[in-house]
Every structure is written in structure tokens, then in C-alpha cells.
Amino acid sequence: MGYQESYIYAKEENEFAILLDKVIELSKIWDEEWSMYTTGILMINSDVDINCDYNIHFLKKGKKLIHITGERAGQRSLARMFGDYPFDGFGLMPAECLHYLCVNGKVDINKNRNIDFEYQLLDEYLSEQF
């Protein structure tokens, strides 16, 4: 048990809407079973390559990531999060992978917060889409 923040993303940007719909559908289950919450959308405004936890994440400008917070056990794998739903087109990244880059100066969001990343609460993002 413990607190964790993670980002889920669609490897192909044209599949982001499918991912978001599935995450919204599963949110109630995640809340009840894992105390996990979907909090917002992070949009990358510059290309970033992240090598973290033996996984490489290539995030291109415009990539959207869904921010998940809550119980660590529920965020250990895509299989645990999505069950039988096919998740091959999705990526999962612990938030500390992105935070590590920021702290070590590879991506300095402290100086360029509005240039490199944009963050929206989920409700705000959804209201702008419809």
C-alpha cells in the first residue's frame, strides 16, 4: 500500500479518445477497488524521451497523458488497470519518471512551465471537448 501518481497515454495520438473513454468508464471501479482517481490531462509541448524503470517513453509534442493518483497497488501495470481490455496501444509511466527529468535539468519546467507542459483538470478538459 502507498500513494502513487502515474501517467497513462496512447502510443498513437489518434487513439487518445479511446483511452480516455475507457479510463472514464473504469474510474468508478478504480475508485472503489483501488482508491485511484483520474485527476487531469498533461499535454507535452516539446519532444521528450524518457528512459525510466527500464522502459523508454518517446513523447512527442502534443502528446496527452492522463494523470492518475491514488493507491500504488492499482497502478503497477496496465494489465491490473485494464483487465481483459486490450491495452497494447497504451503506455504507463510513474510520475517520478517525468519529475526526475525536471529535477535533473533535462526538461526544466520550473523556468518554462507554460512552454513545455500544460495541465488541465479532467473536468475542465472534458468541458472544452464538447
pTM, 2 dp:
0.81
Are the C-beta atoms of residues 37 and 121 closer than 8 Å to each other? no
What pLDDT is attached to residue 68?
A: 92
63 burial (CB, 10 Å; 0-12 / 13-18 / 19+) is: buried
Could you list the pLDDT tens digit for every one of the 130 residues in the chain? 688 889 999 999 899 999 999 999 998 888 888 888 899 999 988 777 776 766 777 788 899 999 999 888 878 888 888 888 888 889 888 887 776 555 444 444 444 333 477 889 999 999 988 6
pLDDT of residue 64: 94
Give the pLDDT score at 41.
Answer: 94
pLDDT of residue 28: 87
Cα dihedral sign for 85, 19, 49, 71? negative
Give how many domains the chain has, as a whole number.
1
pLDDT for residue 7: 92
Residue 110, domain extent: 3-129
